[in-house]
Homo-oligomer: A and B are copies of this chain.
């Protein structure tokens, strides 16, 4: 099976399960909780859970599928809350939860998804002691995501953000959940502590690369494809790696913290490409993925290990 086939099969399975659990929601809060979850998505974190479990090959990954769903719910809860804080109005091609309902409902909808993530991970079938380690890892990731989001917001009021500060923020905001996905898959799949650590590290490092690619997509991809507002980071004056590298090369993106026409955005992209900013940022993400793959030596060769390698390559080659 090639990567895209594998990802499609997980996506279908996740979509079907989520629709079964959330599709027939009776009350407004249930509908609000299901809204973004049922709006699609690449379901990459569940795929990472499943592949990590299969790569350590101790038990069928079907039995731990609820943990894969738990990771998707966790991801979605953070998006629902982040959208309130960042005042974003579109996500996955649909209006955000606080836009359709209100802020109070969006806070609660996120909290419901948060709860259900932990309910779901408890439904995985694995050794109870492994379950507790996996649950603890998920909780730890949730805390790190919050710290990352907090640092991300603080950057907006900070004159200068260094590459190191940016990468540390992204490690928490995005890396932590990919790390948990891979680590939880390995733990529940019956992997050794060394294997779980290697996969956790891989998820962390490639998760950082994933976010860098997301920042590139936010800038470079037309709204129709990404489902988000185009160049929202630029218009919000976000200190992304793109902005940091641009500043190092003498291009100040701060004046573009305002509404921008498509022509203006195109012109800025052109300047950044000519100055080598886009290529340099892309190379940082590629290097992270390259180094992460080198850490997988404790996992025996298998089709699933190969798919993990292809997936993390995909993290930094995808265009949406």
Contacts and interface: CB of A to CB of B under 8 A. Distances in A.
A119 B107 contact: no
Contacts of A140: 115, 119
A91 interface: no
A85 B12 CA distance: 36
A29 B173 CA distance: 14
A160 interface: no
Contacts of A150: 27-29, 105, 108
A284 interface: no
B116 A147 contact: no
Interface stretch (A127-135, A191-199, A230-238, A285-293): A127-135
A104 B153 contact: yes
Contacts of A65: none
A216 to B, nearest CB: 25
A180 to B, nearest CB: 11
A150 B27 CA distance: 10
Contacts of A104: 84-85, 153
A136 B119 contact: yes
Contact of A143 (B105, B119, B142, B149): B119
Contact of A29 (B111, B115, B139, B147): B147
A118 interface: yes
Contact of A122 (B107, B136, B142): B136
A209 interface: no
A81 interface: yes
Nearest to A154: B28
A139 B112 contact: no
Contacts of A153: 104
Q: Which bracket fits the contact residues of A?
A: 35 or more
A26 to B, nearest CB: 11
A138 interface: yes
A114 interface: yes
A122 B132 contact: yes
Interface string A85-122: 10000000000000000011101101110111111001
Nearest to A122: B136
Contacts of A105: 150
Closest 10 CB pairs of A and B: A128-B128, A118-B139, A115-B142, A122-B136, A115-B143, A85-B104, A29-B150, A128-B129, A119-B139, A112-B146
Interface of A: 27-29, 81, 84-85, 103-105, 107-108, 110-112, 114-119, 122-123, 127-129, 131-133, 135-136, 138-140, 142-143, 146-147, 149-150, 153-154
